[in-house]
């Protein structure tokens, strides 16, 4: 059984649960976001936006808890990775964190600018920190969409790197092993 905390060759069970749960939710959010982008305004769209906001605020909460856990967790030993790989992956991980914090915050500002409430998990109303501004709303929506495109690009690099290490490099540096539920500590 994997340790809760990180060890030499593993990020630890808690970090893995955060990682894979977020991966699933983000993939869902990206696909449904693309769908929203292509939908005409309709009662069905309003329903989808409701679900989108619940999942979006849940993603934000998970990222916050994940970062708090990261602060208390130790780190696996990545020193066997060539220097370039180490810098590149640290940069990509930081960008991923920045984007998954930024997009829900921007989505919240956008929603409030549109004159709507944002409720955490659809239950707790978040105080309004952006004035209603209908004129600016379309620009907010466009920026929300562009931020997601940035996430897709960075996520695409991260995913390709993960698969490269797993299948082409035969996990020589234990990159996959560190995040896999079946990996060895
Ligand atoms: C990582 C999380 C998120 C992703 C990837 C994401 C992505 C998207 C995308 C791609 C769209 C379609 C935009 C368009 O029509 O061009 C959208 C729409 C929307 N999002 Fe998000 N979103 C996220 C989180 C949130 C959050 C936390 C909120 C607010 C609580 C939010 C509120 C909305 C609203 C209200 C719309 C509908 C905009 C409209 O068509 O009027 N989103 N989202
Ligand atoms: C299905 C898609 C995904 C795969 C196959 C994957 C794979 C991996 C692997 C193998 C590692 C370990 C890297 C190492 O130890 O050197 C890792 C770490 C990491 N992944 Fe992913 N990942 C995926 C989705 C995501 C998504 C959507 C995010 C967005 C937040 C993300 C964020 C991270 C971060 C920040 C780390 C560094 C460890 C940490 O801070 O917890 N991953 N990923």
Nearest CA owner, ligand 1 atom 4: 29
Give the model's confidence band at 9: pLDDT under 50 very low, under 70 low, under 90 confident, else very high: very high
CA 115 – CA 107 distance, rounded (Å): 13
For residue range 19-37, what is the model confidence (pLDDT) as tens digits?
999 999 999 999 999 999 9
Q: How far is the CA of 36 from the centre of ligand 2 (A)?
A: 26
Identify the pLDDT of residue 126.
95
Average pLDDT for residues 119-133, to the nearest whole number?
94
CA 80 to ligand 2 center in whole angstroms:
18
Residue linked to tokens 């630890």:
12
The reported pLDDT for the residue numbered 25 is 98
Residue 63 Cβ contacting ligand 1 at under 6 Å: no
Flag whether pLDDT at 75 surpasses 90.
Answer: yes
Question: pTM of the entire structure?
Answer: 0.95
Q: Which ligand is nearest to the CA of 35?
A: 1
Give the angle 20-2-14 at the CA atoms, nearest 5°. Answer: 45
Using a 6 Å cutoff on CB, does residue 93 contact ligand 1?
no
Domains of the chain, CATH where assigned? 13-179 (1.20.950)
Note whether 96 and 158 are within 8 A (CB).
yes
Name the phi and psi angles at 119, rounded to 5: -115, 130
Q: What would the pLDDT profile of 129-174 be if each residue is shown by its tens digit? A: 899 999 999 999 999 999 999 999 999 999 999 999 999 999 999 9
* Ligand 1, atom 31: closest residue by C-alpha: 107
**Which residue do the tokens 């540096």 mark?**
173
The reported pLDDT for the residue numbered 185 is: 85
Q: What is the pLDDT of residue 1?
A: 58
What would the DSSP string read from start to end of 17-39? Answer: HHHHHHHHHHHHHHHHHHHHHHP
Q: What is the mean pLDDT of residues 73-101?
A: 95
Residue 106: pLDDT over 70: yes
Task: Show the ligand 2 pocket: residues with CB < 6 angstroms.
Answer: 11, 15, 19, 22-23, 26, 70, 78, 89, 93, 96-97, 100, 155, 158-159, 162, 175-176, 178-179
Question: Looking at ligand 1, which residue's alpha carbon is closest to its atom 42?
Answer: 107
Average pLDDT, the chain: 96
Which among 66, 63, 62, 61 has a CA at the least distance from the CA of 14?
A: 66
Residue 90 has pLDDT above 80, yes or no: yes
**pLDDT of 2 over the 80 cut:** no
């Amino acid at each position: 059984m994997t340790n809760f905390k990180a060890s030499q060759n593993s990020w630890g069970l808690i970090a893995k649960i955060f990682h894979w749960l977020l991966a699933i939710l983000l993939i869902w959010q990206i696909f449904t976001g693309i769908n929203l982008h292509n939908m005409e305004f309709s009662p069905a769209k309003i329903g989808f936006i409701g679900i989108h906001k619940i999942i979006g605020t849940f993603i934000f909460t998970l990222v916050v808890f994940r970062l708090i856990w990261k602060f208390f967790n130790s780190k696996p030993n990545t020193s066997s990775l060539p220097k370039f790989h180490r810098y590149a992956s640290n940069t990509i991980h930081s960008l991923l964190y920045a984007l998954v914090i930024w997009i829900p915050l921007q989505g919240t500002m956008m929603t409030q600018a549109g004159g709507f409430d944002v409720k955490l998990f659809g239950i707790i109303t978040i105080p309004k920190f952006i004035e209603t501004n209908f004129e600016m709303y379309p620009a907010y929506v466009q920026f929300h969409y562009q931020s997601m495109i940035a996430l897709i690009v960075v996520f695409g690099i991260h995913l390709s790197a993960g698969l490269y290490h797993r299948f082409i490099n035969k996990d020589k540096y234990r990159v996959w092993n560190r995040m896999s539920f079946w990996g060895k500590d």
